[in-house]
Each structure stands twice: as C-alpha cells, then as structure tokens.
Amino acid sequence: MDVFRIDLDEPKVEPEEYDLIVSLGSEFAAYDDSHRFVTSEADLMRRAVDANVPILGLCFGGQMLARVLGGEVYRGSESEIGWLPVRTTAPDLVPQGPWFQWHFDVITAPPDAKVLAETDLGTQAFVSGRSLGLQFHPEVTPEIMDEWVRAYRHELDAEGVDPDALLEETNRRAAESKGTSWRLLEGYLDRVAGLGSRAAT
C-alpha cells in the first residue's frame, strides 16, 4: 500500500500499478480548480477510470469521482455535520447508518451511476462500474475526530455544532461504526470492485 499527499507532493501516480485507489477527504472543494492539486486529483481519477482501476472515494474523494464521471458538485445551501442517517436502497451494501458527515457541498450523481443512498440535500452513495463514491466518512474514529475538532473547530462554531457533544457521540458509536464500516468496505471490495473481501485485510 502506498500513501500519497497529492496536495503536497504532486506525485506521478500510475493507476495501472494498483488494484484500488482510495481518495480521502479534504478541506478544499472538488470544484475549486484554483488549487493545482484538485486538477491533478481529477486527472488521476480519469486515468484510473480509463484503466478500469476501481476507486473508493470518501467525501472529497466521492465528490471528485462524481465530477470526473460527469456528475455535479456544488456548494450546498446548508452543511451536513454530525452523525446522520441516510436513505438507502441497498442496505446490504450501504446501511442507513448513522454515518458521520462533515461537508458543505452537494453531489449530483453521474448520469450512468446507480444512486445507493441519499439525504434531503443530495446523493450520499453511488456506484459506477467498479467504483464507489461516498459523501460521508466511514473511516472516522475517535482519534481522527479529535484531530479534526482541534483543527477545524472554527467550522463547528460557525455552524453551531457542539464539539464536545460531537466527540462524545463519536466515542459512544465507535464500536458499532467500526463494524458497519468494515461491512461496507468488504461488500464493496467483493461485490463492486471484484477484488474479494479479503483485500480489506
């Protein structure tokens, strides 16, 4: 497994060399091309799609996947921050949660994608080919949440979100969330990416 900070390093990544590409979250917007790494990430994803390399996109990564495949991503009228349920049409793959959200943008799924989950504000999960885009953060843990709260507390304050309550709920949901997230990952790897669930280990 290789980990790249494309926003810092601008690495030359050849998607054909990998079985799977996972694109994580970002404080930047997937539609803001004023940051060079955003266009670099889009280029990497396009090359991966062309090479039939599966992509798992989480939050920013899911938004970028939607954009690359012809969907839309734009600033929403309101944020989604906290542990929120989703309406799912595929509960065996994407359970209703609640899943942790921290974003200000809306995904409109690509034309050829199958939408698996939504909230009132937009798409939460979609599949296209071997790739899965998610608007939420299945990877969040109490440790990650603690880092995010310290780094981006100003966003919580601006949105009227109690950081202590957020940390408490994340700790309370940690065990259940971990199990649900692993089931999502294993289901994706096995039934969508075609890599077999053992790839998750």
Q: Which residues are catalytic?
A: 59, 137, 139
Residue 114 β-bridge partners = 127
Amino acid (one-letter) located at 31: Y
Residue 99 β-bridge partners = 84
Judge contact between 111 and 197, C-beta under 8 A.
Answer: no
Judge contact between 112 and 69, C-beta under 8 A.
Answer: yes
Q: How far apart are CA 101 and CA 36, in angstroms?
A: 26
Judge contact between 123 and 107, C-beta under 8 A.
Answer: yes
Q: How far apart are CA 73 and CA 67, in angstroms?
A: 6
